[in-house]
Amino acid sequence: MSTLGPLLLRTTDPFGLVQREQAFGDTRTITVIPQTVALIPLPTKVGAAGGTAQTRSTRLGQGADNLIPRPYASGDSRRRIHWRATAHRGDLMVRQEEEEASPDALVVLDRAADRWDRPGDDVDPAFETAVTLCGSVALRLAQDGYSVDVVDSAGVLLGRCAAMRRIGRT
């Protein structure tokens, strides 16, 4: 986000003797959205791209929303027997909790002035490319179900993208 305004109008007489300044409007906050490029989706398993999902949690016990009864297999703990499902089906069933994943991602953009500053008002194509890549990565991660924070190299939060679809990965 950035601020814009007010509009400052500066007029000078033809001889350059008198100058007048007028401000119009208020300061407004604007959101700048960078150009992005389409990236291929990440592998289907969370963490298969080289990291691990630190936010996975398994709820234990009956009554959890993510409880899935499955048929008993030799070697299963007797403590895992799901008695209600066993009575309903007539076969021994055990509790198996489905792991929930709400992965988080952090994208860092180095925007230090000494790295990108160019003399004059010229646009730095390397910085524009870095911003495009940062936006593209954040968008791809959000589309793949990650909650994404974009920070600069000093740790200042620049933006946040929520997961765009529900994760149905196994």
Q: Residue 133 has what pLDDT?
A: 95
pLDDT of 52 above 80: no
Count of residues for the chain? 170
pLDDT in tens, 14-25: 999 999 999 999
3-state secondary structure at position 79: helix
Q: Residue 68 has what pLDDT?
A: 80
Q: Residue 1 has what pLDDT?
A: 66
pTM for the whole structure: 0.54
> Mean pLDDT across the stretch 119-137?
86
Measured distance CA(129)–CA(139) in Å, rounded: 15
The answer to whether 63 touches 40, Cβ cutoff 8 Å, is: no
